[in-house]
Amino acid sequence: MSELAVATVTHNELHNKLPRLVYSVVKFIPYSAYLVWDNASDDGTEPWLREVPVPRLRVFRSEVNLYDLPAYNRLAETAQELGFRHLLFINPNTRILERIDVEALLKPFCEDEKLVILGRPGPRVPKGEATPEGVEGWGWCARLLEERDFWEPEDTDTAHVETFCFVVDVDKFIELGGFRFRNKLFDMREPEKRFPERPVDYTDKGNMIASEIEFSVRARRLGYHIGYALPWPFYHYFSYRGSPHTVEEMDEIDAKHGFPPLGYKYGQLGEDTYGRRKSVADGI
């Protein structure tokens, strides 16, 4: 058994993405514990998780939706309490591409005692486009400009590890304070003002990406290292307004990319007995 714990956060994904991921984790990752956080789902997720026969599964639930990254902070604290040194976060929009060699996955942490986070580099932001108006106008572009000195190496047009699937050194992650959140790093209406004081909008994708970047920058500033893993044995299904909606749509994407068939079918883990399966027409 490995020293690696795996963690997933979910919200109303029982009838499309979550069981497929759970099946994949059991199939491909020799984990020591699988921690799943249910963010106030009302589609049968919690009772299904309490019954599904998954080895070493621990289920947690919030009665309000905390969204992914705040729940990641909670799960890191739980992993530390359980005595795990490393935690692999993986969200339901992820396809595991091969059997994971845990020793090889964690080797960078053994070789670099300052490494705190490991994963796929974030989207490339060409320096010429790193302006408040660039990259869909997300406010984190301004932060990229301010933190240019922390890019590694100097001419690399990326600044963070993506959070669809990544590994952390649990103690270092918590020592750094985990992910932090502001409503906006940059307000287009007030370009001279940084970090406006407003309630955090966790539905704002720009805010979540800002938190990804801020963590990597803060880690470097405090003397820690971040690691970019290429190739990364995990694929991210780009999610927009809930798409892909069904297991079949994800299978079609796999086929287009030439990924081997996963072998999972809807209902295989008994999820079809909890509530009803929604279709694309339901708008999930």
Per-residue burial over 103-122, b if 16 or more Cβ lie within 10 Å, else e, is: eebbeebeeeeebbbbbbbb
- Give the containing element (helix H, strand E) for 37: strand 33-39
Give the lowest-confidence range in 53-57, 79-83, 111-115, 127-131. 127-131
Contact 55, 32 (CB under 8 A): no
Q: Could you please report the per-residue DSSP string of 212-223?
A: HHHHHHHHHHTT
DSSP H helical ranges for 159-246: 170-175, 205-221
Give φ, ψ of 168 to 5 degrees: -125, 150
Residue with the bigger pLDDT between 223 and 240: it is 223
d(CA 156, CA 167): 22
The mean pLDDT value of the chain amounts to: 82
pTM of the model: 0.85
Catalogue all structural domains in the chain, each as residue range(s) with its CATH number: 1-120+160-176+225-284 (3.90.550.10), 123-158+178-223 (no CATH)
Contact 203, 67 (CB under 8 A): yes
pLDDT in tens, 181-196: 755 444 445 555 555 5
pLDDT in tens, 130-181: 444 443 334 444 445 444 444 444 444 456 788 999 999 999 999 999 998 7
pLDDT in tens, 102-130: 999 999 999 999 999 999 987 665 555 54
